[in-house]
Amino acid sequence: MSTPRNPFPTVDIIMELEGGGIVLIRRKNFPPGWALPGGFIDYGESAEAAAVREAKEETSLDVQLAELLHVYSDPARDPRHHTISTVFIATAKGRPKGADDAAEAQVFYENTLPAPLAFDHAKILQDYFTYKRSGKRPRYNG
C-alpha cells in the first residue's frame, strides 16, 4: 500500500494598509521574488489563525482579517509542492518590517508592483484589484 500524498494547506494575506497600499515581502528562500505574506498552516491551527500568525511573523504587523478573497489550488502554483492557498484580505496599521523568512517588507500599489512575483501571486493580485474595482470575485475556471 502506498503512502497517501496530499496537498499542503497554506494561507496568503493581502494586507491593506490604512492610508492605502498593500504589503508585499521579498522572500529570503526559494522560490525567489516578491510575494504576499503567507505560509503553511500548522497542524491543529485554523486557516484564520495561520493568516494572522504569518502576517505578524513576516511583516511585524498585526492584522484584522476582513474577508476571504478566493482559494487557489492549481497544482503548479508552487514549484516546491502542491499547495492549496486560502487567500484573505486583511487590514493593518503601521509600517511593515521584514522578519522571519522575509528579507524585507514594503508597501506597493497596483501600478507599482515589483517583479518578479513568486508563486501565482501575480494572478492573485490581478484578481484582488479586479475585485476591488468591480466587486466581482474570482471564478472557478477549471
Catalytic residues: 104
The DSSP secondary structure of the chain, one letter per residue, reads: -PPP--PEEEEEEEEEETTS-EEEEEESSSSPSEE-SEEEPPTT--HHHHHHHHHHHHHS--EEEEEEEEEE--TTSSSSS-EEEEEEEEEE-S-----TTEEEEEEE-GGG--SPBPTTHHHHHHHHHHHHHH-PPP----
